[in-house]
Amino acid sequence: MKTLNSLSSYTIAKNCSDITDLNDGVLEIKSAIYIRQKTNKKIPSFYAVRLGNLYDRINKLSLQPSVYTTLRMMGRNKTEQK
- In this predicted structure, the answer to whether residue 61 has a pLDDT above a threshold of 80 is yes
State how far the Cα of 6 lies from the Cα of 57, in Å rounded to an integer: 22
**Residues 47 and 12: beta-carbon distance below 8 Å:** no
Q: Which H or E element spans position 76?
A: none
Q: Is residue 1 part of a domain?
A: no
Q: Is residue 69 part of a domain?
A: yes
Our count of domains for the chain comes to: 1
Tell me the percentage of the chain whose pLDDT exceeds 70. 72
Q: What domain range includes position 32?
A: 9-73
State how far the Cα of 10 lies from the Cα of 1, in Å rounded to an integer: 16
Q: Is residue 79 part of a domain?
A: no
Q: Is residue 81 part of a domain?
A: no
- In this predicted structure, the answer to whether residue 4 has a pLDDT above a threshold of 50 is no
State how far the Cα of 52 lies from the Cα of 56, in Å rounded to an integer: 6
- In this predicted structure, the answer to whether residue 12 has a pLDDT above a threshold of 60 is yes
Q: Is residue 80 part of a domain?
A: no
Q: How confident is the model at residue 66 (pLDDT cuts 50, 70, 90)?
A: low
Q: Is residue 82 part of a domain?
A: no
pLDDT in tens, 34-58: 999 999 999 999 999 999 999 999 9
